[in-house]
Amino acid sequence: MKTTIRLACIALFALSFQAASQSNMVFIKGGSYTPLYGRDSMQVAIEDFYMDTYPVTNEAYVAFIQAYPEWKRSRVIKLFADGNYLRKWATDKTLGTEQSATAAITGISWFAANAYCECQGKRLPSIDEWEYVAMANESLPDARFTENYNAYILSWYEKPHTSNNDVGSTFKNYWGVYDLHGLVWEWTSDFNSVLISGESRKDVDNDANLFCGKAAIGANDLMNYAAFMRYAIRSSLKARYTMNNLGFRCVKNAND
Amino acid sequence: MKILNTTGAIALFATSLLLTSCGNDNAQSKVDASTIKVTGTMEAELTSPPFVPAPVGDRDAKKLIVNMEILEEEGTMADGVTYVYWTFGGTVPGSFIRTRVGDEVEFTLSNHPENKLPHNIDLHAVTGPGGGAASSFVAPGHSKTFSFKTLNPGLYVYHCATAPVGMHIANGMYGLILVEPKGGLPKVDKEYYIMQGDFYTKGENGEPGLQTFDMKKAVDEDADYVVFNGKVGALTGDNAITANVGETVRLYVGNGGPNLTSSFHVIGEIFDNVHVEGGDLINKNVQTTSIPAGGAAIVEFKVDVPGTFIIVDHAIFRAFNKGALGMLKVKGSEKANLYSGVIQEGIYNPEGSTLQSMPGEEVVETKTQNKTLAESIASGKLIYTNTCFACHQANGEGIASAFPPLAESDYLNADLERSINIVLHGKTGKITVNGKKYNSVMTKQTLTNEEVADVLTYVYNSWGNNKTHVKVSDVINANSGH
């Protein structure tokens, strides 16, 4: 798979696309954090990396389609995107009249998002990288225990139709990254590896879906409803799925 | 459920034999429901509350197609208060599903593309892991199909079981599925679907605007709203359920929770039969039945006399202060031998030993003295607290769809004589107050003319009303003009 997509990236317009659509990135200083599903003893180390300041926009994706026509709605391989891929677009190459050019691209599959990032010499963030940056609010790198942090995220879950808002319309966080909360969901490279069982708990069965009782077994912060819901949405996805509220952004290793 | 099937069935059957030795055909208890053959396919009729689909009657077990859509959408919690509900089929509670034992239900759950969250469904009528939750977990813009066979007759709750489960339920993701026994439940005249739920909002009860879910209050079980069918007033006024004198009524009552147990009661009725916890056990002559969160009951009664019967959670502050109030309106002719209405009014005087007849107005007049406005208000406030507060509420705000407000009330301020006569003689029927319709009953109040003057003075001088100082003479004049 990886080879195929990498090959696909050496397309005719590849270089011009890369030059045109390099979005701003900010440096994320690595560290360690305790994920939702872990215990204090299960700190996860995060290397330094760069993250896109904004989610990938509709207009950037239009440029991508021009460079890589195999990702056009009419040509995309069905294995790589479900029937709702770019459903709101007017044509193969143009956005729907209701869609803002500077809103986040949604309605794309994991395969499409992954290809986009790779074609820019970037990659999708891992869950841990995404969560590490997303636990910040405006002023703190880890704001998960402040009351407003969770309230803000939860209120977004209850707000209909935010996916057509422009990127940058939510807050700029501690790292200088916008829109991690309050705009759209975002793909991660390993979205479907939500493992509530770790090696320290092999007796817990491996069914990764966060149902009823199981949701409570592995979690270290029962009040963190907001994070539960992110893990829930991730575990409901398959790589070819697309959603009106699901976009992505890319990251790059610091030492590349 | 599985345990019950394999080890408890014999005991259960023995018990039901003991309880119903005379009559009721429980032969199907002997049949292993898993062996019931299905013949044919039909699409299930789904209904919004308070209605239920047609009874199964004597139809054979079938393959039953159920298509349910999940919608996240803003709705009305109370007058001026909105809330983003997560729903099965666009209503709270979700669509009513009616099956019979032995049906093979092919269930397709579709998650609307504009929804933000993944959802699933755990049907308590399902024998299988997670009640279907694991098989129905579905992302927005997708659908999932699974099937199950209904093995145990009864009334069952279904709900969303996606993490965080409490929040999905608190936002309205629950409903009822009925599994009728072979041959169906006994025929009745009217059937309705009622489900209680508790809601936790950022603002306190009545605070206007779009209210968001409050996680902390939910964890603390500190409900702002406790309601039937998803909102205040879903079963009152024009939305009341109805029946005619002499009819039998069956209510399918569920409790979605997420936290509170319902003390389900219909004021002025006694349940002839209660299918306890929605199962086979039938209790008779029940005043109030307890319905746990995630549980249900079937209650049946015959309505013998006309009138409006108030449906409440008899944890009574929930009814009058948080919204758990509905109405059953029964039409027909009075049955004086069953319920007389008021026969005689008297004054009870513990110093004498008998009831005395109501005194004429001249007695009251001897007590008349001209109080100052402040004295009238002070005395009126006490009377209000004793007499009016329960319905019209502490700040005259009333209860949406049930009891009209006295605060900033156009109806009150428009006509003093009318107000006096309502306190003296009561009021029944439709009125419009501040643009909202009410159709309720206020009984006549047994107050002296002076007390009427004082309590109305208090009301007129509170909560933005027009500050009329009502005199005893006004009351006498209004009454004689009546």
Instruction: Please state the ipTM of this predicted complex.
Output: 0.78
pLDDT at res. B333:
87
| DSSP designation for B266 | E
pLDDT at res. B369:
60
Provide the residue ranges of all domains of chain B, joining segments of one domain with +: 1-26, 27-180, 190-331, 346-481
- From A246, which residue of chain B is nearest by alpha-carbon distance? B116
pLDDT digits (tens, 9 = 90+) for B180-199: 999 999 999 999 999 999 99
Mutation for A interface: B71, B162, B165, B168, most A CBs within 10 A: B162
- From B137, which residue of chain A is nearest by alpha-carbon distance? A236
- Which domain does A240 fall in, by range? 2-253
How many domains would you assign to chain A?
1
Contact A161 B114 (CB under 8 A): yes
pLDDT at res. B382:
84
- From B129, which residue of chain A is nearest by alpha-carbon distance? A211
CATH of B27-180, one of 2.60.40.420, 1.10.3720.10, 3.30.70.100, 2.40.128.20: 2.60.40.420
Contact B73 A160 (CB under 8 A): yes
| DSSP designation for A202 | T
Residue A106, domain CATH: 3.90.1580.10
**Going residue by residue through chain A (256 aa), what tens digit of pLDDT does each one get?**
444 545 556 554 555 565 555 579 999 999 998 877 655 567 889 999 999 999 999 999 999 999 999 999 999 999 999 999 999 999 999 999 999 999 999 999 999 999 999 999 999 999 999 999 999 999 999 988 887 888 888 888 777 778 889 999 999 999 999 999 999 999 999 988 765 322 222 233 444 434 444 444 444 444 567 777 888 888 888 999 999 999 999 999 998 6
Q: Which one of A157, A161, A237 has the shortest CB-CB distance to B117? A: A157
Least Cα separation, residue A218 to chain B (angstroms): 12
pLDDT at res. A21:
52
**For residue B272, what is the enclosing H or E element?**
strand B271-275
CA–CA distance, A216 with A233 (Å, rounded to integer): 16
**Residue B434 near residue B398, CB atoms below 8 Å:** no
Least Cα separation, residue A184 to chain B (angstroms): 9
**Residue B139 near residue A109, CB atoms below 8 Å:** no
The reply to whether omega before B208 is within 30° of 0 (cis) is no
pTM of the predicted structure, to 2 decimals? 0.72
* CATH topology (fold) of B190-331: Immunoglobulin-like (2.60.40)
CA–CA distance, B404 with B406 (Å, rounded to integer): 7
For chain B, which ranges sit under pLDDT 70? Answer: 1-30, 346-370, 481-482
- From A182, which residue of chain B is nearest by alpha-carbon distance? B116
pLDDT digits (tens, 9 = 90+) for A85-107: 999 999 999 999 999 999 999 99
Q: Which one of B74, B163, B213 has the shortest CB-CB distance to A232? A: B163
Q: Which one of A151, A225, A232 has the shortest CB-CB distance to B118? A: A232
Least Cα separation, residue B207 to chain A (angstroms): 17
Burial of B37 (0-12, 13-18, 19+ CB in 10 A): exposed
Question: B27-180 with B190-331: one CATH topology?
Answer: yes
CA–CA distance, B88 with B422 (Å, rounded to integer): 44
Name the CATH architecture for the domain at B346-481. Orthogonal Bundle (1.10)
H helices present in B368-471, as ranges? 373-387, 389-392, 410-414, 416-425, 449-460
Size of interface A-B (CB pairs under 8 A): 89
Chain B residues within an 8 Å CB radius of A159: 84
Amino acid at the residue A124: L
Least Cα separation, residue A7 to chain B (angstroms): 31
Least Cα separation, residue B390 to chain A (angstroms): 35
Residue B477 phi, psi (nearest 5): -65, -45
